[in-house]
Structure 1
Amino acid sequence: MREEAGMAAGTRIFTDGTIRTLDPEQPTVDAVLVRDGMVVAAGALADLREQACNSPDVVDLGGGTMLPGFIESHNHFQMAGVGFAHVNLRGDVCDSIPEMQRRLRERAGQTPGGDWVIGRGYDQTLLAENRHPTRQDLDEASTDHPIAIFHVSYHGLVANSRALEMAGVDQLTADIPGGDIYRDDHGYPTGVFMESPAMSLISSHMPQNGVPEYEDGLKLARDHYLPKGITAVHDARIGGYDEVRAYANMIAAGELPIRTYMMVAPELYDAELEGQAGDLGPALGLPAGRLIAGPVKMFQDGAIQAYTAALTEPYFDAPDEHGVKIHDPAFLSSEIMRFHKLGLQIAIHGNGDSAIDDILNGYEAALEAHPRSDHRHRIEHCQTARPDQLERMARLGVTSSVFINHLWHFGDRHISRFLGPDRAHRLEPLASMSRLGIRWGLHSDFPVTEVDPLMGIWLAVNRQTSDGQVIGADEAVDVELALRGFGPDAAWLAFQEGKMGTIAPGYYADFVVLSGDPVNVPETIKDLQVQATIIGGETVWTR
């Protein structure tokens, strides 16, 4: 991509490539005219030159393909950035407990005694030992440091003996509703804690981040996302006002161009935000469209790969296990009713079909009591939704951001271990949703899986696992529909249609330039390269 210098600032024409607008009224154009960060016109180059009046900057796409910038509709942007400072224990770099111990021991050697050592991303099903590590395993890395390591799903952690002592956790510690404390034959905690109610026994004693740490995390996340062509994110849980302050500071300083739609924890909406939803720019002195308070975010279950997604039928390789429900269904319904009455959008994490039942029961009760025609309540992930549940979603107007990356990263184990073939092949039911008129976005849930919209689009089209199996071929969609999952349909999930996700007059000039046209290479979309990322008409990253 080449930009001509010396032309009038603020006005640009993007041309000389394939431009897919994702606007059904005008799917492709020759050129796009941008002024002051907004799309002014899209069409023939000669017409746009005439409309520009003064000599504009001309951005030569060099034969590449320009699309609306990718919108990642469920990920943990800020949390992932903070997590980059933790010891990497993901399965691609750490495949055994001895290797885990080596990595943690190395970090402990660089850390003052008594300070915490934190790891991230272990997957017990990818370890040679095929089990969770225990407190005794982590003690081998250090007994001078409290150690905690997060499961790849972030729905569990393991702590060493020093951490358990600091937290006052022992065999007398009571079980926690909505969580799971693993115990040995004598009733003593093994160090494994699943789901946030149990995890908080340990995490509440870990160092708490403040605005500086969150700002550092945002910088790292920004540098990780921009090369992927991502121009907007739905940050899937903002739990405290320091996180909002960090976002605001970074935007005000001109250091964070990515637009953010925050999913807000109930306690934050109840406290500092006082139920204030929508664009926070006017209140915080920020440009419009940069930081938006979106839905109330709640959880009703965990993760399939952690055996904590709540299933109606047991796990394929664990016939006594149905998963974990975070809340009593009656309490969940009461919270849904409370926030629905306030007029807020609601987004609830639901992986297992039993959790999805609870969520839909709550949504239906709220909508019957207080009808709203355009609520856009969401089920996040929605992985194992049954056909009857999809029909119910369509009737209620419930939408979803779908965890498409699971097919690649966990699909083989879904078939052989977690769910079995029948349930595995109906995972991420995109085609069924589309037939019923349910609009959906696609996501990575980063840092659970790597953020990569091109991989997500490829998976929606091809539905292949990492071992090459095709999983649920009937649920595949075409390239154009898959592109919408990171474009206009992802924008619609956030009430941002008319502003982003499409290249058309009046929209933000947020674009991604690719090395080729995804529509022409459906089988190799994941191998395309991002050449440039453009936000507000300005190139913020280039290869």
Structure 2
Amino acid sequence: MKLSKSILVIALAAASGSALANADLIFTNGDIVTVTGEADRAQAVAIKNSKIIAVGSNADVLKEQGSNTEVRDLGGKTMTPGFIDSHGHFSQYLPLINSPFVYPSPLGNSDSLPAIQTMIAEYLAQPGLDKDRLHFAFGYDNTELVEQRHPTRWELDDISGDFALCLVHISGHLAVCNSKGLDVIGYNKDTPAPAGGVIHKTKEGELTGLIEESATYAMFPHLNISPQELVVNLAKVQDMFMSYGVTTAQEGLAMAHTMRSMKQMADNNLLKIDLLSYAKWTDFEGIINDMPALGKYHNNFKFAGMKITGDGSPQGKTAYLSTPYFEVPHSHAYHYHGYPVLNQEEMNHFVDIAFKHNAQLISHANGDAAADQLINAVEKANKKYGERDHRTTIIHGQTARLDQIQRMVEANMMASFFPAHTYFWGDYHKKSVLGPWRASNISPMGWANEYGLKFTIHMDAPVVYPDQMRNMWTAVNRITRSGETLGEWHKISPYQALEAVTIHAAYQNFEDAEKGTVEVGKRADLVILEANPLDVDPMVIKDIKVLETIKDGNTVFTL
């Protein structure tokens, strides 16, 4: 194994400090990808008091061995820095983890409306299920159903009996509720659609059950669970994230009550991994005094900043585009191009609040028109407050144009792309949503590389599971379900993909000084893999198993 010169120097420097002697734990005989350079590898790593104290060859690192040091032989297995979920919704799993997930293949097997009905009916048939609660199922995808449409409230009524139910779209931006569910959230045929949302009706004015964007917000107060359930479900959710090698997770849109619940988890030392939470734009100032200091950890919980949602989803055809959809949804005019959640004045206002508090801002913008709104507001705030290192991050940036990439660089912004769209919805984007050219440029990582825009990649869990190996695989291959390559020029290398879920994600979180690489002084957040994603055929990256996840030097998951 070839060891990089820089790694050997680090190891020798570490070994010379007597205060660093007698490691708690040493891993040897590994294929350690340090993410300090594409060719950099090490054989061994030593850990003491949750920190990495030596990295390098077996011989050098074993100098840190003391009488009480545990030495573990990796047997040639690959070790990398712990994975960092650069955008997701950790807390959304807390009330949903015991609910049915009606994903289509390959995430599940709900590929038809009868399959969805059967799964939900089996869930509702459980003895003792609370009939006074609004129940949820998550993950249906109309674009992958045999019927090629959304379910209706009447189809849910057929299998839900006395239960109130809402079935949430895989994008998280739409939902279908049964009749009782609509009653619970307060919708009837006379309810006006909220700004930035749609309540769908038949030609006769009857509710179909389908609701979009801000109209779904009425469900959110019902996504609550008891303190006892919270503790049990938190353990399940953390176990799931850790099984994917995630050592730092994100809650990318938290309302006030969610923020307080997460702080309570931290107060009770229930978090095994780090969790960054971004408050919903409308709730940010109302809770800032109730939270830990901005950007500081409290028992593994960090109040990280503000989140703005600027538009919807491309697969739901609610993203705000500058030009019309390739195939306009039924009942919309030929020039329909989605719609924003906020107008430009409102966007300016909330971006200004984030900058005023020197809070990091992350903002959802799938459509390029929504991206324009965000970039305009950031440029305005930069002029007002001066150039500061906010690391403002555009979330998804699916249809960001080349000129917008250049503007983001000039505004000192970042992007967190969602390249899994190329697999899960790439064919649909090409044929129906965006057309061939725009679809080939979704998640434009090639342009980002060309113009020096630092970026991360994410899975937007629970849109899809927080599976970082599949995340990397989609970014490297950009393969659609039909096997077509979508945007060859936007592929990235396996090493760049690994950077995007480690050191670049740490940078996005202002944590690159302590996470993201295997280096002396960094926290011992590590993952052991069954194979090296940099050495295998890129098409099998998604199949690499996480064997062990290590957080601050302690094993928190083993396969």
Report the TM-score, using the length of structure 2 for normalisation: 0.89
1:190 and 1:520 map into 2 onto residues whose CA distance is: 51
**Cα distance change on mapping 1:358 and 1:453 into 2, 3 Å:** same
| Residue 259, structure 1, aligned to residue 274, structure 2 | yes
1:207 and 1:48 map into 2 onto residues whose CA distance is: 49
1:170 Cα offset (Å): 2.3
| Residue 68, structure 1, aligned to residue 81, structure 2 | yes
1:81–1:219 CA contact under 8 A, matched in 2 = no
1:312–1:322 CA contact under 8 A, matched in 2 = yes
Is the deviation greater in 379-388 or in 271-280? 271-280
| Residue 107, structure 1, aligned to residue 123, structure 2 | yes
2:211 alignment partner AA? F
1:192 and 1:34 map into 2 onto residues whose CA distance is: 53
| Residue 309, structure 1, aligned to residue 319, structure 2 | yes
Q: Which runs of 5+ in 1 are unaligned?
A: 1-7
| Residue 279, structure 1, aligned to residue 296, structure 2 | yes
Identity, % of aligned positions? 31
2:414 alignment partner AA? T
**Cα distance change on mapping 1:449 and 1:18 into 2, 3 Å:** same
2:233 and 2:259 map into 1 onto residues whose CA distance is: 10
- 1:312 match: secondary structure: coil
| Residue 221, structure 1, aligned to residue 234, structure 2 | no
1:35 alignment partner AA? K
2:23 and 2:66 map into 1 onto residues whose CA distance is: 13
Which residue is 1:399 aligned to?
414
**Cα distance change on mapping 1:245 and 1:167 into 2, 3 Å:** closer
Which residue is 2:251 aligned to?
235
**Cα distance change on mapping 1:500 and 1:464 into 2, 3 Å:** same
1:130 Cα offset (Å): 1.4
Of 460, 468, 490 in structure 1, the residue corresponding to residue 475 of structure 2 is: 460
1:199 and 1:48 map into 2 onto residues whose CA distance is: 54
1:251 Cα offset (Å): 7.5
2:49–2:553 CA contact under 8 A, matched in 1 = yes
Matches within 5 A, 1:96-495: 96-110=112-126, 111=129, 113-195=131-213, 197-204=214-221, 206=222, 208-241=224-257, 243-246=259-262, 248-249=264-265, 252-253=268-269, 255-274=270-289, 276-281=293-298, 286=299, 290-318=300-328, 319-495=334-510
Which residue is 1:12 aligned to?
25
Which residue is 2:46 aligned to?
33
2:209 alignment partner AA? G
2:548–2:555 CA contact under 8 A, matched in 1 = yes
1:320 Cα offset (Å): 4.0
1:529 Cα offset (Å): 1.7
1:58 Cα offset (Å): 1.1
Q: Which runs of 5+ in 2 are unaligned?
A: 1-20, 329-333
1:113 and 1:49 map into 2 onto residues whose CA distance is: 60
2:353 and 2:372 map into 1 onto residues whose CA distance is: 19
- 1:332 match: secondary structure: helix
1:369 Cα offset (Å): 1.1
**Cα distance change on mapping 1:299 and 1:484 into 2, 3 Å:** same
- 2:534 match: secondary structure: helix
2:397–2:415 CA contact under 8 A, matched in 1 = yes
Describe the superposition over 1:78-100 as per-residue Cα deviations: whole angstroms up to 9, x where unpaired: 21243122222222322222332
2:30–2:42 CA contact under 8 A, matched in 1 = no
1:112 Cα offset (Å): 5.0
- 1:365 match: secondary structure: helix
- 2:425 match: secondary structure: helix
1:91–1:123 CA contact under 8 A, matched in 2 = yes
1:33 alignment partner AA? A
* CA RMSD of superposed structures (Å): 2.2
1:65 Cα offset (Å): 0.9
**Cα distance change on mapping 1:17 and 1:201 into 2, 3 Å:** closer
1:269 Cα offset (Å): 3.0
2:23–2:46 CA contact under 8 A, matched in 1 = no
2:178 alignment partner AA? N
2:374 and 2:226 map into 1 onto residues whose CA distance is: 33
Describe the superposition over 1:390-436 as per-residue Cα deviations: whole angstroms up to 9, x where unpaired: 01011111101111211111111111121111011111111211221
Which residue is 1:514 aligned to?
529
2:184 and 2:388 map into 1 onto residues whose CA distance is: 51
1:434 and 1:106 map into 2 onto residues whose CA distance is: 48
1:67–1:511 CA contact under 8 A, matched in 2 = yes
Is the deviation greater in 224-233 or in 142-151? 142-151
Describe the superposition over 1:3-46 as per-residue Cα deviations: whole angstroms up to 9, x where unpaired: xxxxx996111110111111139821221111011011212322
Which residue is 1:5 aligned to?
none
- 1:423 match: secondary structure: helix
**Cα distance change on mapping 1:215 and 1:33 into 2, 3 Å:** same
1:483 Cα offset (Å): 0.7
1:49 and 1:108 map into 2 onto residues whose CA distance is: 57
1:10 and 1:333 map into 2 onto residues whose CA distance is: 51
Which residue is 2:549 aligned to?
533
1:458–1:522 CA contact under 8 A, matched in 2 = no
1:246 Cα offset (Å): 4.1
1:278 Cα offset (Å): 1.5
2:247–2:551 CA contact under 8 A, matched in 1 = yes
**Cα distance change on mapping 1:341 and 1:272 into 2, 3 Å:** closer
- 1:175 match: secondary structure: coil
Describe the superposition over 1:440-487 as per-residue Cα deviations: whole angstroms up to 9, x where unpaired: 111111110122111111222211112211110101111211110011
**Cα distance change on mapping 1:291 and 1:483 into 2, 3 Å:** same
1:460 alignment partner AA? A
Equivalenced residue count is 526
Describe the superposition over 1:331-382 as per-residue Cα deviations: whole angstroms up to 9, x where unpaired: 1111101221111110000101110011101111100111123110010111
2:305–2:359 CA contact under 8 A, matched in 1 = yes
1:207 and 1:373 map into 2 onto residues whose CA distance is: 37
1:252 and 1:27 map into 2 onto residues whose CA distance is: 40
2:486 alignment partner AA? I
Report the TM-score, using the length of structure 1 for normalisation: 0.92
1:166 Cα offset (Å): 3.8
**Cα distance change on mapping 1:166 and 1:452 into 2, 3 Å:** closer
1:108 and 1:51 map into 2 onto residues whose CA distance is: 57
| Residue 42, structure 1, aligned to residue 60, structure 2 | no
1:121 and 1:9 map into 2 onto residues whose CA distance is: 49
Describe the superposition over 1:275-322 as per-residue Cα deviations: whole angstroms up to 9, x where unpaired: 7311242xxxx3xxx221112011000111111111111111214431
- 1:13 match: secondary structure: strand
Is the deviation greater in 391-400 or in 134-143? 134-143
Which residue is 2:4 aligned to?
none
